Amino acid sequence: MSQKLNTPKGTRDFSSLELKKREYLLNVLKDCFKSFNFQEIQTPSFENLTTLIGKYGDDEDNLMFKILSSGDKIKKADIDAFKNNKLSKFSNSLSDKALRYDLTVPLSRFISQNLNDISFPFKRFQTQLVWRAERPQRGRYREFLQCDVDIIGESNILHELECIKVYDSVFNRLGLPKVDLRINNRQILEGVSKLMKLETVTEIASVLDKTDKIGIDGVMKELKDRNLSDDSINLLKSLLDIKGTNQEKIENLRTIFDSNNIFLDGVDLLDEIIDTSQKFNLNNLNIKVDLSLARGLSYYTGTIIEVSSPKEYEIGSIGGGGRYDDLVQKNNPKLSGFGISFGFDRIFMILDELRLFPNELNSSKSFLFLNFGLELDSILSYLDKLREKNITCELYPSNVKIKKQLDYANQKGIDYVVIIGDEEVKSNIFKLKNMKSGSQSSIDISNLLSEIESIS
């Protein structure tokens, strides 16, 4: 009975103060998305497994929180699978739903379900929780808020650029320092892997994508351990070593790929995005071509982007996105998607660390009427009138010692206490005590509402 109760691993409670800050950040994001005329949708917290499974990759499928079948459905348990240690099959026999793993697959389901009511290009935003059974780390939780902006329609680089501009506008509104937005695309990665004599880029994607953590030498070492040929490894090293401007990197790729049109299409696309981006007046982003960027290759089919945290407070990437054709095309041929995510929790940490949350978050004042056991009528009518103006106020609920009432006010962070006891009633005044400064003033009772309103 006296067992200590806790939040489940990797999850959090939020206090009122944290929620005010989260609400501020969320509102900046939403206001910005709306100004671009993205339209909000919300989808259920869980989806049918048929909607989710097989969209992300096997590792990701295992990180989903599945919902246990209830009632008689649990009789479908595949006991043979359990006995043969086929745990994944056993698990699938016990569940037909799972919590959202991201917001993109639910979006794809939403589009397929509402195809006739949607006008394309469909620009939607969605800010909802997602759940992943990963090992919790600093800034990474099992339940977290995902903030996504996607454009579904024909493949068009203006969609890439509009989303990049959304990043820029949000960071600008938040007052963040300038950050790097790294960009690459799958065709280029496929080209590189072909030159390396690999079947597909997914063979080296997970290693390559660690370049900014373990460095080029670290990547080389890991690839050696995988028995890749020295020729392949050296070729990759020479590509990753290329320094210079985006334009220089692009020209270099053109030389290397000169005989292969498909890979060159990838280079052209990158070139066009970089070139057009200059018209978009980006204030908070440095766009950087980065051949080592190789994330999300189980679903990204074209452009890939990732936003780094500012140098002033480095905590890994704070956003990322890409073009995905297959996720929507499976249900809706001809539709292509491009979308980006904001790393809400990490951006929150940066704002906190760099003191970028506005001071006004706590500017509205709160008032506590002390309880002296007098008749309730007049105090209740004051409370009514103040609350109608959305002024935060309350009456201490019992006539206990004043010290206890003041302790309550202090602990709760009340700004002012209102004192109306016998003495005050007799002399037609009330006293107002500023709990932060300790100063106290006596004011004519007829001015109570106007006085409180003026300082609230």
Exactly one of 123, 182, 186, 295 binds a second copy (CB under 8 A); that residue is 123
Q: What is the DSSP string of 68-106?
A: EP-GGGGGG--HHHHHTT-HHHHHHHTEEEEE-S-SHHH
Shortest reach from residue 298's CB to a second copy, in Å: 18
- Asked if residues 20 and 362 have their Cβ atoms less than 8 Å apart, the reply is yes
Q: Let me know how long the chain is.
A: 456
Interatomic CA distance for residues 348 and 25, integer angstroms: 7
Q: Name residues contacting a second copy, limited to 157-176 (CB under 8 A).
A: 158-159, 162, 169
Nearer Cβ to a second copy (68/455): 68
Side-chain-facing half-sphere of 85: CA atoms under 13 Å: 0
Q: Name residues contacting a second copy, limited to 93-112 (CB under 8 A).
A: 94-95, 97, 99, 109-110, 112
Interatomic CA distance for residues 143 and 129, integer angstroms: 7
Nearer Cβ to a second copy (128/232): 128
Q: Residues 6 or more apart from 133 whose CB is under 8 A from it?
A: 62, 63, 64, 65, 142
Nearer Cβ to a second copy (244/373): 373
The three-class DSSP label of residue 294 is coil
- Asked if residues 310 and 317 have their Cβ atoms less than 8 Å apart, the reply is no
Using the rule CB under 8 A, is 357 a contact of a second copy? no
Distance of CA 169 to the CA centre of its chain: 16
Shortest reach from residue 70's CB to a second copy, in Å: 5
Stretch of 190-198, 320-328, 350-358, 385-393 contacting a second copy, by CB under 8 A = 385-393
Interatomic CA distance for residues 395 and 414, integer angstroms: 12
Tokens in use for 4?
């200590």
Nearer Cβ to a second copy (330/334): 330
Nearer Cβ to a second copy (79/243): 79
Binding string, residues 303-322; x marks residues near a second copy by CB under 8 A: --------------------
Binding string, residues 34-63; x marks residues near a second copy by CB under 8 A: xxxx-xxxxxxxxxx-xx----------xx
Q: Name residues contacting a second copy, limited to 273-302 (CB under 8 A).
A: 276, 279-281
Q: Name residues contacting a second copy, limited to 181-240 (CB under 8 A).
A: none
Binding string, residues 141-160; x marks residues near a second copy by CB under 8 A: --x-------x-xx-x-xx-
Interatomic CA distance for residues 309 and 448, integer angstroms: 50
Q: Name residues contacting a second copy, limited to 359-378 (CB under 8 A).
A: 366, 368, 376-377
Nearest Cα to Cα of residue 32 among 157, 144, 123: 123
Nearer Cβ to a second copy (169/309): 169
Q: What is the DSSP letter of 390?
A: T
Binding string, residues 395-434; x marks residues near a second copy by CB under 8 A: x-xx--------xx--xx-x--------------------
Tokens in use for 273?
């995005």
Q: Residues 6 or more apart from 227 whose CB is under 8 A from it?
A: none
Using the rule CB under 8 A, is 15 a contact of a second copy? yes
Shortest reach from residue 436's CB to a second copy, in Å: 16
Using the rule CB under 8 A, is 329 a contact of a second copy? no
